[in-house]
Amino acid sequence: MEKIDMKFIDSVLEHHDFDRTNIIAIMQDVQEKYRYLPQDALTYIAKKVGMSESKLYGVATFYGNFSLDTKGKYVMKVCRGTACHVRKSSNVLQALYEATGTSEKKATSDDGLFSIEIVSCLGACGLSPVVMVNDTVHAAMTPDKARELVAQLREGA
């Protein structure tokens, strides 16, 4: 398991005043660094802000953005919103699954490079179909462009 830098967790907690109501923001900051929520970190945070681990687990698992599993270097969010749907985003998704060796049941590729996530709407409907890689939006995707994108990222990695 990944080693957690508790000093970093402390700095995040301090930034949010160890306040229990800021728990979502705290977890967001932690996830930004590790790309997921390591179990050790959650246990530590629960103790520090004074809430039970079960309650924290409840919050962490409620929200779609939080992940308790490790994620790939490139998180590819495939928009399956209405606008993307009517412009055939399902074909783009399929191409990404195939190109990265992932599937509906297996979100992260074996080489640890790619995680494919389905999101409801990225709000970039004018550019549909859309795929967001980390924080960059890729517009008007096609299965071919999707395969090309994966190849490019793989080369750059």
Binding mask 16-55 for other proteins (x = CB under 8 A): ----xxxxxx-xx---------------------------
Amino acid of residue 146: A
- Choose which of 7, 54, 136, 155 interacts with other proteins (CB under 8 A): 136
Min dist. Cβ of residue 81 to other proteins (A): 3
Pick 52 or 111: Cβ nearer other proteins: 52
Pick 103 or 111: Cβ nearer other proteins: 103
Binding region for other proteins (CB under 8 A) out of 33-41, 105-113, 116-124, 146-154: 116-124
70 binds other proteins (CB under 8 A): no
Name, in order, each residue with C-beta under 8 angstroms of 120's C-beta and a sequence gap of 6 or more.
79, 80, 81
Exposed/middle/buried for 27, CB within 10 Å: 0-12, 13-18, 19+? buried
Buried b (16+ CB within 10 A) or exposed e, 95-118: bbbebbebeeeebbbeeebbbbbe
87 binds other proteins (CB under 8 A): yes
The sign of the torsion formed by the CA atoms of 62, 3, 7, 70 equals negative
Tokens of 108: 């992260």
Pick 20 or 73: Cβ nearer other proteins: 20
**Measured between alpha carbons, how far is 26 from 38 in angstroms, rounded to an integer?**
13
Residues that bind other proteins (CB under 8 A): 20-25, 27-28, 58-59, 62-66, 77, 80-83, 85-87, 91, 119-128, 132, 135-139
